[in-house]
A and B are shown apart, each in its own frame.
Chain A
Amino acid sequence: GDSVTQMEGPVTLSEEAFLTINCTYTATGYPSLFWYVQYPGEGLQLLLKATKADDKGSNKGFEATYRKETTSFHLEKGSVQVSDSAVYFCALSVRVSSGGSNYKLTFGKGTLLTVNP
């Protein structure tokens, strides 16, 4: 079945360090790929997405490129801030009913990022 594997955490970095969180997936067909962020005590927010191979999603300094050949969607940021401390989830969307337009999200287990001043 469809699945998402992301690097185990926690990840602890100093402010202004470079961030990479690895994400690989298995899926039938051509899924869309997402990164969600969850700040402490809050729900998930969409950070960025890519809907087809070689697309690059970007937002708030974060980037991820949809690599079909390596089935990967790694999250990167060149210089992290303390405010980036959160849990990051990689996810893919697959159709749940044939012929319909409804999609469900399959999530990775999440990676806790802590950025120290």
Chain B
Amino acid sequence: NAGVTQTPKFRVLKTGQSMTLLCAQDMNHEYMYWYRQDPGMGLRLIHYSVGEGTTAKGEVPDGYNVSRLKKQNFLLGLESAAPSQTSVYFCASRTAEQYFGPGTRLTVT
């Protein structure tokens, strides 16, 4: 039981490039979340999903897209990366409590 895993762990992008972050969970959870963590800001919700095939916007969705084609996977896409998207990204899934992945550190230059 690996819990929540995220790939990649680190990534450096140039402005305008695109990429996809993958979150996978093996706990059969319906609900999954993407957060970003910035210094002095805590964690802010980007998008979330209440089940396979569903997604919804969180607090800071602009510049991101998500997909939940399979129950165990929740993908976060950046179509055209900007320096403001430099952050640490955390995925989480939940039943009664949220379980977090180890994070992806993304730098956009």
Residues of A near any B CB (own CB < 8 A): 4, 34, 41-46, 49, 89, 96-97, 100, 102-105, 107-110
Contacts and interface: CB of A to CB of B under 8 A. Distances in A.
Contacts of A45: 100
Contacts of A89: 42-43
Given A96-B48, A100-B50, A102-B31, A109 B100 contact: no
Chain B's interface size range is 20 to 34
B90 interface: yes
A96 B103 CA distance: 24
Contact of A46 (B4, B56, B97): B97
A104 B100 contact: no
A97 B29 CA distance: 18
Nearest to A105: B98
B42 A104 contact: no
A104 B43 contact: no
Interface of B: 4, 31, 33, 40-45, 48, 50, 56, 58, 90, 92, 94, 97-98, 100-103
Given A43-B90, A104-B33, A109 B40 contact: yes
A45 B98 CA distance: 9
Given A102-B50, A104-B33, A104-B48, A43 B42 contact: no
29 contacts: A4-B42, A41-B102, A42-B102, A43-B4, A43-B100, A43-B101, A43-B103, A44-B43, A44-B90, A44-B100, A45-B100, A46-B97, A46-B98, A49-B97, A89-B42, A96-B48, A100-B50, A102-B31, A102-B48, A102-B50, A104-B45, A105-B98, A107-B42, A107-B43, A107-B44, A109-B40, A109-B41, A109-B42, A110-B42
Top 6 A-B pairs, shortest CB-CB distance: A43-B100, A107-B42, A109-B42, A44-B100, A107-B43, A43-B102
A89 B92 CA distance: 15
Centre residue among B56, B58, B100, B101 by max chain A CB count within 10 A:
B100
B58 A104 contact: yes
Given A44-B92, A102-B48, 13 more contacts: A43-B100, A43-B101, A43-B103, A44-B43, A46-B97, A46-B98, A89-B42, A89-B43, A96-B48, A104-B33, A104-B58, A105-B43, A107-B43
